[in-house]
Amino acid sequence: MFTKFEPLSDWVSDTLSTWSKLDIRIDISEKESVLYLANFDKTVIFDNTIVDLIHSSERMPNYMSFCNVKKLDFMNIVDHKVPCPGYTSDVEELYSVDGETLYFNYDIIGLLVYCLSNYDDLKNNTYDSHGRIDSTNSHFVNNQYLDRPILDEWINILFNILSSEYKLDCQKFNYEFILTTDIDSIYRYDINKPKKTLRLILGDLIKFQNILNVIAFFILFPLWKLVFYKFDPHNTFRSIFECNKNNTYKKYAFFIPSQSYSIYDSDYNLNDKNVKNIVENLETFDVNFGTHLNYKSYLDKEYITYQIDTFKSNISTRSISNRMHFLQFKFPETFYSLIDNRVISDFTQGFADLPGFKNGTCRKFRPYDLMKDRMLDIYIFPLILMDVTLYSKRYLNITNEDLAFKKASYYIDCCRKVGGNFCLLWHNSNLNSNFEKKLFKRIKDYAL
């Protein structure tokens, strides 16, 4: 897969130094990986099991081994039985010390390369009907470690051992809640789509007994968009971002920049008066704005450029973040287009049908392109949980509020334990039923 060790070593050093706030140097070679620390005369050596496997472009073995770290008693991992992807037998003795050298018997450096270079996607090559990587062929899913931020856990184990063996002062990783919304639609009732609207109105009358909205719409529909938008059930931005404890979490709203002929795309234009009002309101909540690029644009660089230009001419932001609509993505090609358009961060990396840790981490990182032997100059914020993943019939279909909350709280607990970001996606169009409203509030309150 990769051909050069030096840029790979530079990138791993940079990633670990950024995360730990220590001055770390990693040298990866054919034989082993060696960790050096500034002002520290000890070295740590890792065997190269996973690095070798990636170098020779092999698949990860379909076998799950573990390392039990119970006797080491670490607090900042999810469970003491830690998965060891890449190994075909359990790791019994995790490390040994010989003079000034600590030998590590699990290849944490290789695991980092594996997780943050999307190696699993590169080896998967099967896609669902929307062109997204098929989770059922993911090594993370098949070997049941998607639910563990394993890379974060292994990094924490490494620093725990360094601080206990050598009294090294390691920074604690901090938890942060990142609340995001993808604005696929701003109108639940749209007079330009009479059939869809009539269907929705009838459904809403039965489901939500929201009769006042429906009557108002019927009587006043010519004025609906102009005057009464605040009553539209998709105008939920205040409920999403309002918070008593000021600024304790990061907020992002992603807008679809242009309408298209696809039935999957948006019902608004960025120069719509109501969008301008939404933007003004969101600014009062300190929300960051980004693009939510159209369905099927993920492989079309020109179309991506057009949309980002449209976004920039309508919404002013210091920098551009992005999440692809439908989470459509091809690694690394979609990143090439985003980087060429100076997008600084992306929030797409996650499976639509499953919550969890698709990159083994809940920390932000810059990915590595194994094909071109270089770091990609964009920050990834891994998506941990999306609203519909929990309760849609297509996905987990958990329709009991307590069970859905329990599932969500597990991921929040994981992010808190390891010290990472719980990145939640809740669509503004998914706060209609009492179930959605109550579940969202419980998850948000718990994550704050």
Q: Where are the beta strands (DSSP E) in 246-393?
A: 250-255, 288-291, 320-322, 343-346, 368-369, 374-375, 379-380, 385-386
The first and second tokens of residue 444, run together, are 């948000």
To the nearest whole angstrom, how small is the minimum distance from the Cβ of residue 189 to Zn ion?
Answer: 19
Nearest to 402 by CA among 358, 446, 364: 446
To the nearest whole angstrom, how small is the minimum distance from the Cβ of residue 422 to Zn ion?
Answer: 20
Cis omega (within 30 of 0) on the bond before 149? no
Q: Which stretch binds Zn ion (CB under 5 A): 8-16, 166-174, 322-330, 388-396?
A: 322-330
What's the rounded Cα separation, in Å, for the pair 421 and 341?
Answer: 26
Name which of 295 and 405 has its Cβ closer to Zn ion: 295
Size of the site for Zn ion (CB under 5 A): 3
The strand pair at 320-322 and 288-291 is best described as: parallel
**Are the C-beta atoms of 156 and 149 separated by less than 8 Å?**
no
Name which of 176 and 184 has its Cβ closer to Zn ion: 184
Interaction between residue 436 and Zn ion (CB under 5 A): no
The first and second tokens of residue 251, run together, are 């907020």
| DSSP assignment string, 175-243 | PEEEEEEEES-S-SS-TTSHHHHHHHHHHHHHHT--HHHHHHHHHHHHHHTTT-GGGSTT--HHHHH--
Name which of 152 and 184 has its Cβ closer to Zn ion: 184
What's the rounded Cα separation, in Å, for the pair 367 and 377?
Answer: 8
Q: Which stretch binds Zn ion (CB under 5 A): 19-27, 28-36, 228-236, 318-326?
A: 318-326
To the nearest whole angstrom, how small is the minimum distance from the Cβ of residue 324 to Zn ion?
Answer: 8
Among 148, 234, 325, 363, contact with Zn ion (rule: CB under 5 A): 325
To the nearest whole angstrom, how small is the minimum distance from the Cβ of residue 346 to Zn ion?
Answer: 14
Name which of 148 and 325 has its Cβ closer to Zn ion: 325
To the nearest whole angstrom, how small is the minimum distance from the Cβ of residue 32 to Zn ion?
Answer: 44
What's the rounded Cα separation, in Å, for the pair 373 and 369?
Answer: 6
Nearest to 331 by CA among 378, 388, 290: 378
**Are the C-beta atoms of 356 and 146 separated by less than 8 Å?**
yes
Interaction between residue 182 and Zn ion (CB under 5 A): yes
Interaction between residue 47 and Zn ion (CB under 5 A): no
To the nearest whole angstrom, how small is the minimum distance from the Cβ of residue 295 to Zn ion?
Answer: 8
Nearest to 189 by CA among 236, 160, 164, 224: 224
Name which of 177 and 326 has its Cβ closer to Zn ion: 326
Among 120, 152, 184, 387, contact with Zn ion (rule: CB under 5 A): 184
The first and second tokens of residue 81, run together, are 């039985």
Q: Which stretch binds Zn ion (CB under 5 A): 183-191, 193-201, 338-346, 415-423?
A: 183-191
Name which of 182 and 267 has its Cβ closer to Zn ion: 182
Name which of 78 and 293 has its Cβ closer to Zn ion: 293
Q: How many CB atoms lie within 10 A of CB 341?
A: 20
Name which of 291 and 421 has its Cβ closer to Zn ion: 291
C-alpha separations of 14 from 25, 114, 260, 413 in Å? 8, 16, 40, 27
To the nearest whole angstrom, how small is the minimum distance from the Cβ of residue 342 to Zn ion?
Answer: 22
To the nearest whole angstrom, how small is the minimum distance from the Cβ of residue 199 to Zn ion?
Answer: 21
To the nearest whole angstrom, how small is the minimum distance from the Cβ of residue 231 to Zn ion?
Answer: 23
Angle between helix 194-207 and helix 211-224 axes, rounded to 10 deg = 160
To the nearest whole angstrom, how small is the minimum distance from the Cβ of residue 401 to Zn ion?
Answer: 24
Interaction between residue 234 and Zn ion (CB under 5 A): no
Position closest to Zn ion via CB:
325
The residues of the shown chain that bind Zn ion, judged by CB under 5 A, are: 182, 184, 325
